[in-house]
Amino acid sequence: MNNLIDNRIVKPRRRINNRIVKPQSIMLKAARTALICAAIIAFSFYSSPVSNFFDYILWEVMAFYEESAGSYAPNLFESVIINANEQNDSLITPNADYIRLASIDDVAERSIIGIDDIIFQDYDEFRPLINERSNQNFTIQNLAIERYFNDVDFFISRFYNIDTNTGIIREYFNPVRFLNTDLSLQKDSFAPQVLIFHTHGGTEFFVDSDTTDIRQGVVGAGERLKYVLENKYGIGVIHITEVFDVINGVSQRGGSYERMEPVVERVLRENPTIEIVLDLHRDGIDPNPNLVTYIDGKPHARMMFVNGVSALNQNGEVRALNNLRNDNLADNLAFSFNMQLAANEMFPGLMRRKLLKPFRYSTHMAGRSLLVEIGSQHSTMEEAFNSMEIFADILYAVVFKQN
C-alpha cells in the first residue's frame, strides 16, 4: 500500500542489508548486469561464429558420453601452457579465449585461439580402426579415372576410410583436379624447404622404445627423415623437436595442437622458403594390426595419411566447422592423393588407406602439408625408421623430381 506524506503519494522502499533501495535502482542494476553479460558473450564469440557454439555443445556431450568424466573433465579446465620463444603464457580462464604473444620481438602481434578449438582438435583423435579396409594399391596406370570423376561417392569409398563423424563436402574430391595440381618445386640446396614437427612427439613411442628418450619415438623417426632428405637428396630441412603434449613431465595431449601451432607458424614466417610441412605421428590401434611390410628384405612400418576436412556430419547433414577453417584443404587432399599413388607404385603394400577426419589438425598452415601416421604402438623402431628412408624417396619423386 502506498503511503500519504504531505499530500504526496510515496511508493514503499525495500530494505536490503539495512539499506533502503528504490525499486527503480534494482531494475537499473539488473539492466546493467544484462548488458554486461551480453557484451561478454559477444566478445567471447567475436573470433568464432555463434553457430559454432552448437558444435561446441555437441562435442562436449559426445566427449562426456565416450570418455569417463574423471579423465576428460579435468583436462577441460586445466591451464594450457604454451612455449613461444621460451616465453610461457597460460589460459586465463577456463571458458574464455586466450591471447598469446606471438613473439618477444613483436609483442603487438597477437593470436586468439578458442577453448572450443582445444576440445575439437584433440577430442578422440585417431580412433582404432580394427575393421579397417585394406589399401588397394591404386597407381596412375590403373586408375579408372572416368568412373571416379563421374561418381564421387564411389571414388571416396575406394580411396578413403572415413570417421563416422566426418562431413564430406563432395566438391573437394575431384581426382582429375588432384592429378592436375602442380606440386613440383625446384630444389634449393641453400635454403630449407621442408619442415618436420610432431604434435604428439612426447607421448608417441614404439614397442621397443625407451620412453625417457624422445629420440626413440616419432621424434627419432623425424630425425631419420631429415638425415635422408639432407644427405641423399640435398634438401634443406628444419626439424622441430619441441614437445607439445607433455607439460611439467606429465602427459597432456589436450591442447597439443594449439601449443604446436604458434611455434610452427613462427618457423614458417622466419623461413619463407619452406613449402612442405610434415606432422609425423605414431598411430594407436588395438588389437595389434601387424602394420609391417617387407621391402628388399627389410621390415617397414606401414604408414597412413590423415586428412582433416573441417566438416562435421550431424545426422546426415554436413556442417562446415568455420572455427577450424582450412583454406589449404584442396591442396592438402591433392598432395596426400599423389603421395599415396606414388607410394603404391614405388613400394606396394607400404601404405594403409587414407583416413578422413572431421577437424583440421595441423595441415592448414601450408598446401603441401601431410599428417603421417607411422605404424602403431606395436611397431618397432627399426620398422619405423626404415619407413622414413623410403618416405624420403616418395617425397622426392612427387615434389622434386621433374618428370
Dihedral (CA of 392, 221, 326, 186) sign: negative
| pLDDT tens string 301-344 | 999 999 999 999 988 899 998 888 999 999 999 999 999 999 99
Asked whether residue 54 carries a pLDDT value surpassing 60, the answer given is: no
Higher pLDDT, 65 or 243: 243
Overall residue count recorded for the chain in this entry: 403
Asked whether residue 36 carries a pLDDT value surpassing 90, the answer given is: no
Asked whether residue 381 carries a pLDDT value surpassing 70, the answer given is: yes
| pLDDT tens string 351-376 | 999 999 988 899 999 999 999 999 99
Could you give the CA distance from residue 168 to residue 320 in angstroms, rounded to a whole number? 9
Beta-bridge mates of residue 318: 313
Could you give the CA distance from residue 217 to residue 345 in angstroms, rounded to a whole number? 28
Confidence of residue 135 (pLDDT cuts 50, 70, 90): low
Q: Are 260 and 199 in contact, with CB atoms under 8 Å apart?
A: yes
Could you give the CA distance from residue 324 to residue 170 in angstroms, rounded to a whole number? 18
Q: pLDDT at position 81, please?
A: 25
Q: What is the CA radius of gyration of the chain?
A: 26
Higher pLDDT, 143 or 369: 369
To which H or E segment does residue 83 belong? strand 81-84
Beta-bridge mates of residue 53: none
Higher pLDDT, 98 or 397: 397
To which H or E segment does residue 276 belong? strand 276-283
Q: pLDDT at position 279, please?
A: 98
Q: What integer best gives the mean pLDDT of the chain?
A: 76
* Cell, residue 233: 637428396
Could you give the CA distance from residue 372 to residue 350 in angstroms, rounded to a whole number? 13
Work out the percent of the chain whose per-residue pLDDT is above 70: 67
Residues 6 or more apart in contact with residue 389 via CB below 8 angstroms = 224, 228
Could you give the CA distance from residue 354 to residue 340 in angstroms, rounded to a whole number? 8
- φ, ψ of residue 301 in degrees (nearest 5): -75, 130
| pLDDT tens string 169-200 | 999 999 999 999 999 999 998 999 999 999 99
Average of pLDDT values for 139-160? 81
Q: Are 20 and 14 in contact, with CB atoms under 8 Å apart?
A: yes
What's the start-to-end Cα distance of the chain, in Å? Answer: 95
Q: pLDDT at position 41, please?
A: 56
Q: Which of 291, 224, 261, 263 minimizes the C-alpha distance to 361?
A: 261
**Is the pTM higher than 0.75?**
no
Say what the alpha-carbon torsion angle 359, 360, 362, 365 is, to the nearest 10 degrees: -170
Confidence of residue 118 (pLDDT cuts 50, 70, 90): very low
Higher pLDDT, 204 or 136: 204
Higher pLDDT, 314 or 210: 210
Half-sphere exposure of 55 (CA within 13 A, CB side): 32
Asked whether residue 127 carries a pLDDT value surpassing 70, the answer given is: no
Task: State the amino acid at position 40 in one-letter form.
Answer: I
| pLDDT tens string 67-108 | 333 332 222 222 222 222 223 222 222 222 222 222 323 322
Task: State the amino acid at position 377 in one-letter form.
Answer: Q
Asked whether residue 14 carries a pLDDT value surpassing 60, the answer given is: no
Q: pLDDT at position 149, please?
A: 78
